[in-house]
Amino acid sequence: MQVFKLCLKILKKNIPSMLIYVSVFLSISIIMTFATANQMDEMSIFTQAKSNIAFISEEDSPLVDGLKRELSKIANFVEIPDKTEALQDALYFREVTYILRVPRGFTRGFMKGEDVQLEKTIVPDSYSDIYVDLAIDKYFNTARLYMQQMEEISQEDLVRRLEQNLSEGTGVELKATARTLGEYDYLNYYFNYFPYALLYILILGMSVLMLVFNNRDLKMRNACSPLSPNSFNTQFVIAVLLFAFVSWLVMTAFCFILDFKNSMSMNTVYFTLNSLAFTIAGACMSFLIGNLAKSRGAIYAASNVVTLGFSFISGVFVPQELLGSSVLKIASFTPTYWYVRANNKIAKLTQFDFVHMWHIYYDMLVQVCFALVFFVLAMVIAKRKRAEP
């Protein structure tokens, strides 16, 4: 097993370079662990943000006071002088996003059924202003219903009934079929970042091996040795497969260490299978790059270009939902794109029958097809190199 032992010695010398990328990968994973945990804590409690508004009333009446109390549920009232310049400055500097003015005679006209209007000044395209408008419309539409049914109703009685009616709400309960939404977000982040470190490690290790064994003098010495080509190739393939498997195993093991609670699930099983399919594709790609590399400098350049390039366009660093269609079309010619796409689908799975799983199997199969293409190309290049003098 001379060839096998030599491969392990060569890989062992390059462990420090590989550990740099493993450390970067684990640092990102740990950061995402805490970020995801904090995000889930914030998502578990819903509180509506209040808008800052200026409420200016030119009259004092029970109806207007009731409106102000109702708006206080969704808004913070900011005291601003009733001067044009002060109000404009408040809007410009976003001290308030909504200025509501109740004109003199509004209450008397409203109680008589006249078509009276409130005056408002808002920040353009502010979504929070919509909630204020809805609350105002709801308040006065409900008041009109009472006035239509109770013609002699007083302002005090109307406001009391409005407060009682508008205080009632509808409870909403969210249910998940099999898990809480976002429960596997961390695993999704972890395995999405997986290709960045794994590809670099595989390309570096494989290329260094190929660079050594493709040395002209070493090839000539091996050709004169009593070791048969079949034995040589068998030992080399075993060493390469062992290297790829150990790299995958080490990086996958950290997933269970960092998030053991959520790791014991069927989702994790498919995350792991998908990462194994990508490891096969990455190993074959690394074998191809190793046959093309002619110097150690070229190895480092290829490692950085391939890992960073694939990561940016395929959804590792930037979610695929934020990438343009043209970028995704280009990315579809890389195994990383199909790997990340499968991960995003696995994170949302709650049922694991074939109907819900076939598209994930398809993405894994595409990665294996990439592996076969890379391997065939690498063998063709290797055969040509062996034929060279």
Query: What confidence score (pLDDT) does residue 367 get?
Result: 93
User: Residue 144 is encoded by which pair of tokens?
Assistant: 């009109």
Q: Which helix (H) or strand (E) holds 77?
A: strand 75-77
Is 60 exceeded by the pLDDT of residue 60?
yes
Average pLDDT of every residue of the chain: 80
> What is the tens place of the pLDDT at every residue in 232-260?
778 877 888 888 888 888 888 877 776 66
Is 80 exceeded by the pLDDT of residue 151?
no
- H helix count then E strand count, the chain: 16, 4
Is 70 exceeded by the pLDDT of residue 386?
no
Query: What confidence score (pLDDT) does residue 225 get?
Result: 66
User: Is there a contact between 99 and 68 (Cβ–Cβ < 8 Å)?
Assistant: no
CB atoms within 10 A of CB 303: 22
| Amino acid letter, residue 303 | S
Query: What confidence score (pLDDT) does residue 74 get?
Result: 86
Q: In what order do the strands lie in the sheet with 98-102?
A: 75-77, 51-57, 98-102, 119-122
Parallel, antiparallel, or unpaired: how do β-strands 98-102 and 119-122 relate? antiparallel
User: Is there a contact between 335 and 281 (Cβ–Cβ < 8 Å)?
Assistant: yes
φ, ψ for residue 44 (rounded to 5)? -70, -20
| Amino acid letter, residue 143 | A
| Amino acid letter, residue 302 | A
Is 90 exceeded by the pLDDT of residue 365?
yes
Query: What confidence score (pLDDT) does residue 246 get?
Result: 87
Is 50 exceeded by the pLDDT of residue 187?
yes
Between 382 and 174, the higher pLDDT residue: 382
Query: What confidence score (pLDDT) does residue 132 get?
Result: 87
C-alpha span between 189 and 347 (Å, rounded): 10
Q: What is the pTM of this model?
A: 0.62
φ, ψ for residue 314 (rounded to 5)? -105, -5
What is the residue extent of each domain of the chain?
2-41+179-387, 51-166
User: Residue 251 is encoded by which pair of tokens?
Assistant: 């990086």
DSSP 45: S
Region of poorest pLDDT, from 55-69, 344-358, 361-375: 344-358
DSSP 98: E
Region of poorest pLDDT, from 179-188, 296-305, 353-362: 179-188
Tell me the Ramachandran region of residue 229: left when phi exceeds 0, alpha when psi lies from -120 to 50, beta otherwise. Answer: alpha
Is 70 exceeded by the pLDDT of residue 176?
no
> What is the tens place of the pLDDT at every residue in 71-107?
888 888 999 888 889 888 888 888 888 999 999 999 8
Structure confidence at residue 179 as a pLDDT band (50, 70, 90) = very low
Is 80 exceeded by the pLDDT of residue 25?
no
C-alpha span between 353 and 34 (Å, rounded): 32
Classified by CATH at the fold level, domain 51-166 comes out as: abc type-2 transporter like fold (3.40.1710)
Nearest CA-CA partner of 28 in 261, 317, 256: 317
Region of poorest pLDDT, from 75-89, 157-171, 225-239, 356-370: 225-239
> What is the tens place of the pLDDT at every residue in 111-144?
888 888 899 888 877 777 788 888 899 999 998 8
C-alpha span between 76 and 51 (Å, rounded): 6
| Amino acid letter, residue 85 | E
User: Is there a contact between 162 and 139 (Cβ–Cβ < 8 Å)?
Assistant: yes
Name, in order, each residue with C-beta under 8 angstroms of 16's C-beta and a sequence gap of 6 or more: none
CB atoms within 10 A of CB 46: 8
Which residue is listed with tokens 């003199």? 104
User: Residue 326 is encoded by which pair of tokens?
Assistant: 């043209």
- State mean pLDDT over 293-301: 76
Helix, strand, coil tally for the chain in percent (to 5): 70, 5, 25
User: Is there a contact between 268 and 255 (Cβ–Cβ < 8 Å)?
Assistant: yes
C-alpha span between 37 and 45 (Å, rounded): 13
φ, ψ for residue 350 (rounded to 5)? -125, -15
Region of poorest pLDDT, from 120-129, 170-179, 310-319, 332-341: 170-179
Query: What confidence score (pLDDT) does residue 268 get?
Result: 84
CB atoms within 10 A of CB 177: 6
| Cα 135 from chain centroid (whole Å) | 35
Query: What confidence score (pLDDT) does residue 319 get?
Result: 82
